Structure 1
Amino acid sequence: MARQNRLLLDLYRGYNLRSSPCQFVCRQCQSNPSKHPSRSFSTSLPARNELRRTLGSQEIAEVDEGYEGPPIETPAPNIYQAAETWHGLEWVGTEEWQRKWRASKRIPFASFLPRSRELSPAQIQNFVHRAIVEIFTIKAASMPVRRVSQLPSDSVNDVALATTIGVSEDGNQVTLGFPSEEARLSFIPEEVQNPTSPDQQLVENEEDVEAAKSVKDIVGNTAVADSDIEAWRNLSLADPEIKFAVLKRVMQLSGIRVPDHSLHNAFTAGALYECLILPPKQPKLAQGLLASELLAALPNVKISGKKISEIQRETEVGRWKVIKEELRSRDLPLRVRC
């Protein structure tokens, strides 16, 4: 019985050695064959030969002929020649180049700020009044106040000047009094006025002209009343969105920039108006002395608005000609700078 078991074990070990791809097997692997199962078959042929054996050499040849690499491109001859002088090169930045560049543009450039600044206090006052009317009209129509910059920037807007502004005591509530409903709609874009259909949004040109004439007849050439000025001066600019919208619109109309340190302290519309106007220039000392009759009446006192040099002083008394002749006779340099 023991001999029969030994023969079976030898046969089992020999089968594992023949089926295993390894030529030598350690003693531990021989004693534990169940833990290291071997492959059912072993081959040294690559997968390509196995595929040829399965499909046939003719089909593989047809498949190989279908795959080709990219063609080799012949490089173009290098005809670039570096310029040694500027003759024949394109000039950029000249006046003629600018004229051609501007003519080639379909849409002309429109700057956000006007070319000329309006510095008179009355005009700046009208710009602030107009900006407040436009911004709060757009806000009442449930539109973002940043769209105020899309409105036309005409220098004079009689409709805005004819609109009265009422501000509450705390400065947070604003009430606008328009001369007519057409005046109110002039500050609102057309797509917001007629949001129904494109056919209803189309209006005849004659009707638009008549509506504009009616508004102009109602408004006329008006100016901001004194009571209205005191009203919008108390408008609170605590809301940053309203504050920067008013500043942006006034800057677009007037072309005046407000420094950041001045804008930080502008809590009301009146404070913003004070930041926009230029402070009056301080009178010079000579102007103050000329205004004094006591000094002007003295015989030995003469007041000048600028510094008087020595040459000017000698020229007044007639000695500068004599000094020049003496300098030339002695070959000395002549001072010609006053």
Structure 2
Amino acid sequence: MRRLPRIQRLRALQKTPATPSAPFRYLSTSRPAPFRASPCRPEDKKQRQEILEALERDRQSAISLQSESELVDAEEYEPSIPCTRIVVPPDFSYAPSPKHAADYVPAKSVEELEEVGGVDQWWEEAGHWGEADVLPAFSGRTGSSKVLEPSVLEVLVRQAVVEALVVQGKAGEEMLMGKWEALDKAAMSRAVGVEVAVSESGDVTLNGDLSGVLAGLSESEPASELESEELVLTGEEAREILKSGDRAWRNVPITNPALKFAIHKRVYQLTGHYLADAKLAPLRTAQHLLTVLSRPATKPKKVLEEIQSPRGRGSELLDLPNVKVYNRRVTPIDKEVWVGRWKVIEDELVKRGLPVTGTGGVGKAREKDWLMGKP
């Protein structure tokens, strides 16, 4: 068997004093830079001085502006009141502190608190809207004062058609959108005196005092209320006018939207009849307009009446075994009555002090009133 040779014992490292070695110098071909006492160049010093002077000037300017603004804020001035017809709420006034109010007695409960001032209901009070509270009516004939006499209605519709045609031919479509004067017998007489001729192709020819008709519409002095009451056209006068007048004006085409709008506006101003867009859009001639205005307004039938009528489409529903038709809306109370639960529900509501029907006078914002301390 082979044996490893004996290894000699390791000797401890001897602590030998280290001899200091001279530092090595890197090889360099550049010469050492000369030493300066100041790290900045003269050019840098000059630039720095200019910057400092500019900053100082800006600081002085800011100080002067701040002092001027403080002087302006210290001055008492009244804000400019906007030019408006409404009454704006007044400026807020603050109550004195308890230290400065000798007669101040603090409240000890919510009931003793007093609500003073506030602008919550400002715009609901009368007079705060100024002249805007009274909205001038475009037509003096509204409601029960509408023209219902057929002869008077026909004369006024003819006047509206003639005036709109005169304005379209003389002043253009801009005046069609403007405001015209109210009913005047002189203007009505001038409009009645204009002859209207309609060709087969739809061209309209007017003969008469067209300039007078146009001048009567653009007068700046409106008629007073007393005069307007005296200018009401009676049925006898209207029938006399229709006897001597022509019927060619009924064939005047009114397919032009601007012309149709002007005629409808004038008819509403003179007669008080306003047509909805659904009825106004299909109109093609003045005769069609007169027919729609002369037709009496009938109250629409209810669904039940339409179903029960002999010519109704829903008459077959009454014969179906699983269909029931009622003359009013079926409420949840009706459904509870049918199944026999309503008496029990009513007794429980009364026992708890709750309203049987409705809300019992409690609105949606009741909790808000409680938070504000209102009863």
User: Normalising by structure 2, what TM-score?
Assistant: 0.43
Normalized per residue, which structure has more helix? 1
User: Normalising by structure 1, what TM-score?
Assistant: 0.47
